[in-house]
Amino acid sequence: MQLSELSERSGVSAASVKYYLREGLLPAGTPVSARKAEYDDDHLRRLRLIRAMLSVGGMSVSQARDVLAVAEDPAFGRHERLGIAQYLLPPQVTPPDPAPDAAAHAAWTALRAEILALLRDELGWQITEFAPALDTLTRALTTLRDLGYRADVAFLQRYGEALRPIAEAEYQVIEEIPQVEEAIEATIAYTVLYEPVVLALRRLAHEDVSARLHPGTPNPGTPD
């Protein structure tokens, strides 16, 4: 197909397709004349992945390029390929710099190590020390403590135990996709797009718990 058809079938504008070609995210088509090239289904699939990385996943073009480099390199296994995509998703929390505030840096490092030890030792999770989600957890607990709320590392065990069965069921869908590019695309889409689902259901569960603790009282938002 020509670029115009590729644009139409993928729903990606021709200008964006040309930009991805220039940036090397999308491989060049097969030249058929001095000014025309042919594109195929691999290009369509790649455009879906690019859209997942940039729009759904919120990655930068250079992060997307990193994911593609790993996806195409036969030296990397499937676990690594999907892992690198997940590791590059926002939020990317930066630990405090040791230079201006050595105490804050040391406290961060100690708390992060405590969290990792809990997840590995108490939950038995096989996770690397490089996982950015460890920094997200460290920041969340630090913020809670700074604001004067209790935030024990031990609390995390309960959350982890409750979330593990969801994660297993979710991952089953990814595992059944044989093609790596499609699996990466699905990893990004499911990771990001189900996040509001998890958070919204947690809030609704709170409402149910509160309603049961206070039976017979009117509900929030009930019209007069």
Considering only residues 160-219, where is the footprint of a copy of itself by CB under 8 A?
160, 162-171, 175, 186, 189-191, 193-214, 217-219
Is 56:189 a contact under the CB 8 Å cutoff? Answer: yes
Q: Which two tokens stand for residue 201?
A: 């259901």
Q: Which is nearer to a copy of itself, 102 or 167 (CB)?
A: 167
Q: Which is nearer to a copy of itself, 34 or 162 (CB)?
A: 162
Q: How far is the CB of 163 from a copy of itself (least distance, A)?
A: 5
Q: Which is nearer to a copy of itself, 19 or 76 (CB)?
A: 76
Residues 52-71 that bind a copy of itself (CB under 8 A): 56
> How many CB atoms are closer than 10 A to CB 44?
15
Name residue, tokens 């206070």. Answer: 214
Strand 37-38 relative to strand 30-31, pairing: antiparallel
Site string for a copy of itself, 76-115 (x = CB under 8 A): xxxxx-xxx-xx-x-x------------------------
Cβ contacts of 7 within 8 Å, gap of 6 or more? 13, 14, 17
Residue of 44, 104, 107, 140 that binds a copy of itself (CB under 8 A) = 140
Give 92's Cβ-side CA count (13 Å radius): 11
